Structure 1
């Protein structure tokens, strides 16, 4: 989850963020030796106090006389940009770079000016030039984040195609999400059944490969058409009967108006199990996102899916989910979020109401920056489901409470590459023994975006 919208915020938000965060890093990490005099000392003091307009007014009358003095031009360029005189700032910094093309601070500042002027491609080139000069890791990581934000701005003004490939290796204590019991009572049939091995929890190592493509194309200043495809193949070593393939497709529109973002997508999912078609889900999803400010975001969502099981048509159902969420980004880069939702499944076949349910759930989580290349994250959810009628096999109405936890980290060794070790825990506490289970997974995921 990120707190950025190309229409609301856009270049203006990037400029503000850059001023508040990146500039601090660059000024400390990339400072160059400059010739000090009373004028530049006074201007530097004003900049340190956040008085860019005063610094600009102090230096501007001396530009004609001191143009070509690198120390003067650097400070004048920074003051001009901070005072909103971006074109004047570019001219001053170009004079610095003409004499000292290796000056990383001047190049970073001119990138900031180009960003403020909306020349995102040129800004990105300059940021990349700074990185190529071997800046400290924390500065390089910060530049990466802002270049990613530049990409999102570009996506609002031009057709863009983005994608990813990934692979994972891990261990799963319950690949089939089954009970650990060897037998269960069926009071409706007056006896007990012995469960075969495939109906009991099976642990296995697993590997996955996957990828996806996403395209966005602006229709107008406020409307963007989006579409995408993703797919994942999972192999369970020693439990191939539960190997699966999942594919998703979506297409829709995103409409941005001031601080509000509306999205509507048609979606389709195909899930194959052990080489055979198992289930499809087709439907719609809609979301309203309100950017209260640069750090706080509200959203509401609704989803509908028509679930169809190819070999178990009795389970075919309509599924609805609706809810709301709130997210907050802290000044240090930490993010926290919470969501509350309701869910309903109603079977197409009215003769099996015990397979449908109503439920409610809550999710919460967050992330923090451990260092320049590593993000730590954690989250959890609780979902309660009350089924619609008594199950004749168990002579009881099913009630489930499912608990989920996830914890992990994302390490970025280089731009576009991430390595994510992750642990998950699931416990479904059901009053029907056959549906009560726990599951733990540990995996490492390597991802390359392009």
Structure 2
């Protein structure tokens, strides 16, 4: 007995009648009516091949290929040999102007004994052969995310209360209350908007805007609001892709502007195959810090930052998993080269390794590990020597898709700073759970 047959035994007579009605709408060319018929059943029947099959076809009939892919992937996860889902997957990728993936779902069907299937395969193959080599669709996506969590070190400082600071005199010094480690529960919110559109001859216009904020329950002194904007273009030439973006960010702390950055990012990627890619990137950033009552000399940290790196990613486990790596290096140079500012300049090298895995059609797991080493220049005025630090971070998370728009995302992050100066040594644990809603 096939996997689809086993799955279908769980369908009630009423469910089967609803699916039959949706198929009748599709046969009559009424895709919107079919989708309306199916949507109330999604939370109950998602993962049933019979439902996902007709739901994917209904989404395709209403020109929603991305939504169709989500349902059809669930279908093939349970019943990988279901012909109708394979054909619909190819059609969805054709709609998304992805000829390689569209073609991959036709290979095993070319020798199918059913002449109707062979005819459909031939039609889709002709469509793929006539597809443009450049992206031809406009893409718009947006989401809202809300979360709550707990942070063991909201101000990212040492847990020590007393230490020897040579620059302030002999004897042990006691840290002021505002410089001591604080823990707190928090709430967060994020809005993201991404848009791209073809410009012709393999060119695309790209833009993205993100706005995120975090409010701590114990104190508002470390509440943040961050706005990011990027605008750029990409160029696709066969397996080569080039991207150039202008970047800007405003970082607000306690409601006041703390730091503004502007910069430029250049990226190059080369597709080794359908599931493997290598690349290189370089980024320049100008950092401008705002002096405040709490930080009157913050402007001394204004700097130019130069970073470049190499990337690699590889699909694994029949493309249910993705492994990626990034190595990079660079420098940050303060604008002011005087002795009071120079100790903020540093050289850096780092690396990151991560993995994503689709454990179930509705569940994706992810993990990453990063390390960055910094060697500062000049003499630190507090400790009368050059500062050296190594940063470690570990991230573990999951995405549970309730339906195509709503997902729950638990997350754990661990950060550690190892320094030759006790003032800059700390560790931090952040636990959160987030609810994301895809607007479109």
TM-score (norm 1): 0.70
1:59 corresponds in structure 2 to none
Question: How far apart are residue 25 of structure 1 and its match?
Answer: 7.8
Does the 8 Å contact 2:343/2:377 carry over to 1? yes
2:313 aligned with 1:334: no
1:198 corresponds in structure 2 to 178
Does the 8 Å contact 1:124/1:150 carry over to 2? no
Which has the larger displacement, 416-425 or 181-190? 181-190
Does the 8 Å contact 2:350/2:373 carry over to 1? yes
Correspondence for 1:172 among 151, 165, 168: 151
* 1:295-326: CA deviation from partner (whole Å, max 9, x where unpaired): 11101111111001011110000111100011
1:43 corresponds in structure 2 to none
2:303 aligned with 1:317: yes
2:362 corresponds in structure 1 to 373
2:162 aligned with 1:183: yes
1:446 corresponds in structure 2 to 435
Distance 2:312 2:78 in 1: 29
Structure 2 residues not aligned, in runs of 5+: 10-22, 35-48, 99-133, 292-297
Question: How far apart are residue 349 of structure 1 and its match?
Answer: 0.5
* 1:62-88: CA deviation from partner (whole Å, max 9, x where unpaired): xxxxxxxxxxxxxxxxxxxxxxxxxxx
Does the 8 Å contact 2:157/2:181 carry over to 1? yes
1:406 corresponds in structure 2 to 395
Distance 1:25 1:220, change over 3 A: farther
Correspondence for 1:270 among 246, 250, 258: 250
Aligned ranges 1:290-439 → 2 under 5 Å:
290-311=270-291, 312-330=298-316, 331-351=318-338, 352-439=341-428
Distance 1:107 1:173 in 2: 43
Aligned ranges 1:62-141 → 2 under 5 Å:
97=27, 124=64, 138=78
Distance 2:307 2:289 in 1: 19
Distance 1:325 1:419 in 2: 29
* 1:229-279: CA deviation from partner (whole Å, max 9, x where unpaired): 110111000121111100001100011111111111001000000011100
* 1:209-248: CA deviation from partner (whole Å, max 9, x where unpaired): 1102111121104001011211011100012111110000
Distance 1:131 1:262, change over 3 A: closer
Does the 8 Å contact 2:55/2:71 carry over to 1? no
Distance 1:414 1:260, change over 3 A: same
Distance 1:344 1:313 in 2: 19
Does the 8 Å contact 1:267/1:282 carry over to 2? yes
Correspondence for 1:162 among 141, 152, 169: 141
2:219 aligned with 1:232: no
* 1:29-84: CA deviation from partner (whole Å, max 9, x where unpaired): 689xxxxxxxxxxxxxxxxxxxxxxxxxxxxxxxxxxxxxxxxxxxxxxxxxxxxx
TM-score (norm 2): 0.72
Distance 1:196 1:110, change over 3 A: closer
Larger radius of gyration: 1
* SS of 2:221 mapped into structure 1: helix
Distance 1:228 1:126, change over 3 A: closer
1:10 corresponds in structure 2 to none
* SS of 2:431 mapped into structure 1: strand
Distance 1:171 1:139, change over 3 A: farther
* SS of 1:355 mapped into structure 2: coil
Distance 1:280 1:176 in 2: 19
- Over the aligned positions, Cα root-mean-square deviation in angstroms equals 3.9
Distance 1:204 1:126 in 2: 39
Distance 1:110 1:215, change over 3 A: closer
Distance 2:349 2:402 in 1: 39
Distance 1:123 1:187, change over 3 A: same
Distance 1:150 1:407 in 2: 34
Does the 8 Å contact 2:56/2:68 carry over to 1? no
